[in-house]
Amino acid sequence: MIKLYSFSPSMGVPCPSPFPIKLAVFMQLAGIDYEVVYENNPGKGPKGKIPFIEDQGQLIADSHLIIRHLRDTHIAAGKAHDPDAGLSEQRKAQTLLMQKMLDEHLYWAIVYARWVDPRFKADTGKLLFASMPPLVRNIVFALASRGIAKSLQAQGTGRHEQNEIYRMGCEDIDALATLLGEQDYLFGEQPHSIDAVAFSYVINLLDTPQDVELNRHAQAKENLQAYNRRMKERFYPDFL
């Protein structure tokens, strides 16, 4: 059985990072058996990142590469179902584009809100490291937030003004809500791999407690609220 290494549940969601949720939903869609192993130290991963998986002794990191591995092995060998079976090439291309918007753009706006915005970053530390003694927690969070701020600067998002970051993030949320429309899932009546990606962001925007502009913007979308409930009923009923 595959072991999925994920951050522990916190902030009211199965994982405060979207990437382990994406993998868990993808594997449920594909019918791949897995167990979650909670690991809050990214340094234990092969690339210093969470999530990673262990599959027959092989450690694989990065959610995109993990899904590629699952497709190349379990799905290609007929041991699992392809969540995107029957989709047109155009739909598959749209899947990639939407994934990139969420993973490479909206993600960084969420990271900024949690780790850099002075209104919220102290709460992030308390929520994510609640089990630590306050002194240790403050030191760990200070080191982590400093490193994340440097990553945001290098990636480019951190070079923008705060209102610009949130406006761009809200544009991504608008695009997602528009693409969903009145459908149950992004491509119709059944979920596909893009729903594993989208849901991992929607739940982190709708169900986490911080009163961030991004969260409020997503919470105002009735179709995203319904989508979040629908996906939780199917994949994470314990978080309804």
User: 128 and 214: one domain?
Assistant: yes
User: 104 and 184: one domain?
Assistant: yes
User: 14 and 71: one domain?
Assistant: yes
User: 116 and 184: one domain?
Assistant: yes
User: 68 and 102: one domain?
Assistant: no
User: 141 and 229: one domain?
Assistant: yes
User: 120 and 220: one domain?
Assistant: yes
CATH of the domain at 66: 3.40.30.10
Closest among 66, 61, 77, 54 to 23, alpha carbons compared: 66
Q: Which domain holds residue 95?
A: 87-240
CATH of the domain at 104: 1.20.1050.10
Per-residue pLDDT of the chain (240 residues; tens, 9 = 90+): 999 999 999 999 999 999 999 999 999 999 999 999 999 989 999 999 999 999 999 999 999 999 999 999 999 999 999 999 999 999 999 999 999 999 999 999 999 999 999 999 989 988 888 888 888 888 888 898 999 999 999 999 999 999 999 999 999 999 999 999 999 999 999 999 999 999 999 999 999 999 999 999 999 999 999 999 999 999 999 999
Question: What pTM was estimated for this model as a whole?
Answer: 0.96
Domains contained in the chain, number: 2
pLDDT digits over 12-58, tens only? 999 999 999 999 999 999 999 999 999 998 999 999 999 999 999 99
User: 50 and 137: one domain?
Assistant: no
User: 50 and 92: one domain?
Assistant: no
Task: Please say which residue of 83, 103, 130 terminates a domain.
Answer: 83
Residue 190: count of CB within 10 angstroms of its CB = 11
User: 157 and 70: one domain?
Assistant: no
Q: pLDDT at position 187, please?
A: 98
User: 111 and 224: one domain?
Assistant: yes
User: 57 and 101: one domain?
Assistant: no
Q: Are 185 and 84 in contact (CB under 8 A)?
A: no
